[in-house]
């Protein structure tokens, strides 16, 4: 049976104020393969009549035995979400009406939503006066006239003041609780909070959590605050409701509105409870942003369960959760023995369990091993060996995984790894931040006629240096071999310390090249030596033979060479092997078939007295690969200069610092031809231009350097390098 795209969820409880049955009959919702309607009856006395109406209309009827409890919109909508089977849900009340093509247009909005920065759409709503409602209801059985009447209301709306009595609407809500949202996302943010009873607060609480969960959304200043001004009068980009409003402005720009038919004020709406609800919602928002309150996802009924050990942003991410479905979070508790904790996980009968890095500490590793020994599929989510890469690997952590086996990548379509690396270089993309001392300053330190060996050190406390040194005893043995290699005296040994190390563990050995860019160092090196660094894998793409001395996923036949002692290392340096075809095929596998890709904010914090730890924040995926299935993420970011931000243009202009906070830094990209020429630029400039500062300029801004070559002062150099007569 085909899964519907859209479920319209209507929550009701019959009362003496209005005729609910009559208002439901006014609705003209097309029921087909794409649309379903779920009517949730929260304890109505006339349940049978409502059920019969649903049978007549082809709606799904869900009755809650709650007649002794106050009406709860949160409880009712949660029941509707759980009952629905569609991919998207739209919440509307019994009093809401729409144009005849409204639901068809919602289906198109659902498609557009996947390529927008928003994770839900909010429908602007006119709360009609009694007079306007009567004019509309008179036409309810004539779709053309009905639609025309709503169009007239919408055309008139910009010219009325909804804050004073008028003949069109008692109020206007540019956004409200009638939102279109992915059904699974409702579960991911914890559904409606059923603490809310009576009227108000439950919608703004859910919407705040939806906004907070959106990794593609630029947040306004004081995001957690609930500003008290009317949302349709919001002209400053402050507080979460300012960005919430934009979700309705988007729909208004497409002419998509809802109307609310007038009814007398419901007597059960208690203003004191409403105030308490709003205060509770406001408090929750602040606590969520401050990290004092953690949002807990809810399991999706009938869907395979994925369990997250903790909330690392690599997997506790809206796009990853969308790709995998049902999610539960179990925060690690290291006071509990790993075997006991593992049983808690197993009792949930998970389909998969996600770890950020099981080698992060002994407790996590023991838990990882315990779960896997019980046949539980565990996924390691960690940074990959290429810039902006992430792997979600059921095989395990890095070099401990069998996902890099030769038979897996031999059949992949090759890419030109050198061209790929040239593009990274042109755009200044590296695994870790780099310094940019001009490479010419290294030349006097090298002995002419000797082979140049680039040694890439790693973080002293990284999992790869603590757990994957075999066949060596430990990382200290690797460092000792490098000391002995330098002592031979017939190699230019360049030692590049890892940026996360606070000090060089082999200070005084070889030539320290910590201040040079790694791409420059690849150019001057004849051979690259490392334990198992990702920088070694990138050296393969640069066309350099690589020797690894630890357990390394890219140390395979026709890729990197291996060595376990000084004599073997010297032999590999003197007699290197390199196979470009295999490197290109391996890179094709990583880039196209295995790695996921994302962007994130990079930061550091102290980890020990010897090292720092890199941190990933605001992870935004562009591609997710899990269990061999690739999902392209088409969503886009918007900045303060996007057209939809026009209501806040004056505020952002007046507060210039705010504009810079929301504007993404432009990325200067070199062309493919320019990228391919990058390895030639420095020697060509030295040969032709004879300008000592050209290399530094190129390092700082590759694309800008190409533009500089067009300057008359660089005319000869520019013509040669750009291939012009």
Distance of CA 131 to the CA centre of its chain: 48
Q: How many CB atoms lie within 10 A of CB 614?
A: 17
Q: What is the band of 668 on the pLDDT scale with cuts at 50, 70, 90?
A: very low
Which one, of 226, 443, 184, 141, lies nearest residue 326 by Cα?
A: 184
Q: 3-state class of 592 per DSSP?
A: helix
Q: Please, which residues have CB within 8 angstroms of residue 533's CB and are 6 or more apart in sequence? A: 456, 457, 458, 464, 498
- The answer to whether residues 299 and 277 touch, using CB atoms and an 8 Å cutoff, is no
- The answer to whether residues 485 and 491 touch, using CB atoms and an 8 Å cutoff, is yes
Which one, of 354, 696, 660, 685, lies nearest residue 517 by Cα?
A: 696
What architecture does CATH give domain 305-383? 3-Layer(aba) Sandwich (3.40)
Distance of CA 598 to the CA centre of its chain: 7
292 to 312, 436, 455: CA distances (angstroms): 16, 41, 45
**pLDDT per position as a tens digit, 171-181:** 999 999 999 99
Is residue 695's pLDDT more than 70?
no
Which one, of 89, 255, 95, 99, lies nearest residue 184 by Cα?
A: 89
Q: 3-state class of 352 per DSSP?
A: strand
Q: What is the band of 269 on the pLDDT scale with cuts at 50, 70, 90?
A: low
What does pLDDT average to over the chain?
Answer: 89
Mean pLDDT confidence for 701-710? 49
What is the predicted pLDDT for the residue at 603? Answer: 85
Which one, of 64, 286, 299, lies nearest residue 190 by Cα?
A: 299
What is the predicted pLDDT for the residue at 263? Answer: 84
First to last CA, the chain: 65
**pLDDT per position as a tens digit, 542-596:** 999 999 999 999 999 999 999 999 999 999 999 999 999 999 999 999 999 999 9
Distance CA 497, CA 556 (A): 25
Distance CA 33, CA 1 (A): 9
**pLDDT per position as a tens digit, 49-61:** 999 999 999 999 9
Distance CA 98, CA 100 (A): 6
E strands within 58-207? 60-64, 88-92, 96-97, 120-122, 125-128, 169-173, 179-182
Is the CA virtual torsion 210, 212, 217, 223 positive or negative? positive
CATH superfamily, with its number, for domain 417-596? Glycogen Phosphorylase B; (3.40.50.2000)
Per DSSP, the chain holds a count of helices (H) and strands (E) of 27, 24
Domain 6-290 indexed as CATH 3.90.550: yes
Per mean pLDDT, which range of 198-202, 305-309, 489-493, 530-534 is the poorest?
Answer: 198-202
Report domain extents, the chain: 6-290, 305-383, 417-596, 672-721
- The answer to whether residues 259 and 128 touch, using CB atoms and an 8 Å cutoff, is yes
- Say what angle helices 271-290 and 202-213 make with each other, to 10 degrees: 20
E strands within 463-536? 491-496, 511-512, 527-530
Largest pairwise CA distance in the chain: 97
The reply to whether 417-596 shares the fold of 305-383 is: yes
């Amino acid at each position: 049976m085909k899964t519907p795209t859209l479920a319209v969820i209507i929550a009701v409880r019959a009362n003496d104020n209005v005729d609910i049955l009559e208002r439901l009959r006014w609705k003209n919702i097309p029921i087909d393969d794409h649309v379903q309607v779920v009517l949730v009856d929260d304890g109505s006395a006339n349940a049978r009549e409502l059920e019969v109406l649903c049978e007549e209309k082809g709606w799904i009827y869900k009755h809650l035995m709650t007649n002794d409890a106050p009406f709860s919109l949160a409880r009712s909508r949660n029941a509707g979400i759980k009952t629905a089977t569609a991919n998207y849900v739209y919440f509307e009340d019994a009093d809401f009406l729409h144009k005849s093509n409204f639901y068809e247009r919602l289906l198109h909005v659902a498609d557009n939503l996947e390529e927008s920065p928003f994770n839900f759409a909010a429908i602007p709503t006119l709360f009609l006066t009694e007079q306007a409602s009567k004019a509309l209801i008179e036409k309810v059985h004539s779709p053309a006239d009905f639609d025309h009447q709503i169009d007239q209301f919408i055309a008139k709306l910009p010219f009325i003041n909804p804050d004073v009595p008028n003949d069109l609407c008692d109020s206007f809500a540019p956004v409200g609780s009638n939102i279109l949202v992915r059904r699974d996302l409702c579960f991911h943010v914890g559904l409606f909070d059923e603490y809310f009873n009576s009227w108000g607060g439950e919608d703004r609480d859910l919407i705040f959590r939806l906004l907070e969960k959106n990794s593609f959304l630029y947040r306004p200043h004081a995001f957690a605050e609930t500003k008290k001004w009317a949302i349709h009068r919001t002209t400053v980009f402050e507080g979460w409701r300012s960005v919430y409003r934009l979700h309705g402005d988007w729909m208004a720009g497409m002419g998509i509105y809802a109307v609310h038919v007038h009814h007398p004020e419901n007597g059960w709406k208690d203003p004191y409870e409403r105030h308490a609800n709003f205060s509770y919602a406001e408090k929750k928002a602040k606590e969520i942003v401050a990290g004092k309150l953690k949002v807990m996802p809810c399991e999706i009924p009938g869907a395979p369960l994925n369990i997250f050990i903790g909330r690392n942003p690599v997997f506790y991410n809206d796009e990853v959760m969308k790709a995998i479905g049902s999610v539960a979070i179990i925060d690690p508790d290291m006071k509990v023995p790993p075997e006991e904790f593992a049983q808690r996980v197993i009792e949930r009968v998970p389909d998969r369990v996600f770890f950020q890095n099981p080698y992060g500490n002994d407790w996590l590793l023991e838990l990882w091993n315990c779960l896997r020994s019980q046949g539980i599929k565990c996924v390691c989510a960690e940074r990959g060996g290429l810039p902006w890469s992430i792997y979600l690997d059921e095989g395990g952590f890095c070099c401990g995984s069998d996902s890099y086996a030769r038979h897996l990548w031999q059949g992949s379509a090759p890419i030109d790894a050198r061209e790929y690396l040239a593009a990274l270089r042109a755009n200044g993309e590296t695994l870790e931040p780099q310094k940019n001392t001009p490479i010419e300053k290294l030349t006097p330190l090298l002995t002419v006629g000797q082979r140049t060996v680039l040694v890439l050190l790693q973080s002293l406390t990284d999992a790869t240096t603590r757990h994957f040194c075999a066949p060596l005893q430990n990382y200290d043995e690797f460092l000792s071999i490098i000391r002995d290699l330098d002592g031979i005296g017939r190699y230019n040994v360049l030692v590049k310390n890892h940026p996360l190390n606070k000090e060089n563990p082999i200070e005084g050995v070889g030539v320290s090249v910590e201040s040079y860019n790694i791409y420059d160092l690849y150019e001057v090196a004849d051979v690259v030596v490392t334990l198992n660094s990702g920088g070694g894998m990138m050296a393969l793409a640069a066309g350099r033979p690589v020797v690894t001395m630890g357990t390394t996923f890219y140390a395979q036949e026709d890729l990197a060479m291996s060595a376990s002692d000084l004599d073997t290392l010297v032999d590999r340096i003197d007699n290197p092997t390199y196979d470009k075809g295999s490197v290109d095929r391996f890179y094709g596998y990583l880039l196209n078939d295995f790695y996921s890709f994302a962007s994130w904010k990079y930061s550091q914090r102290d980890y020990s007295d010897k090292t720092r730890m890199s941190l990933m924040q605001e992870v935004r995926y562009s591609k997710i690969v899990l269990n061999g299935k690739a999902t392209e993420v088409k969503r886009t970011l918007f900045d303060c200069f996007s057209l939809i931000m026009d209501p806040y243009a004056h505020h952002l202009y007046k507060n210039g610092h705010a504009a810079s906070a929301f504007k993404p830094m432009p990325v200067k990209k070199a062309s493919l031809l320019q990228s391919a020429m990058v390895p030639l630029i420095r020697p060509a400039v030295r040969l032709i231009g004879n300008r000592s500062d050209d290399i530094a300029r190129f390092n700082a801004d590759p694309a800008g350097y190409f533009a500089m070559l067009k300057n008359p002062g660089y005319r000869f150099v520019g013509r040669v390098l750009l291939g012009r007569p």
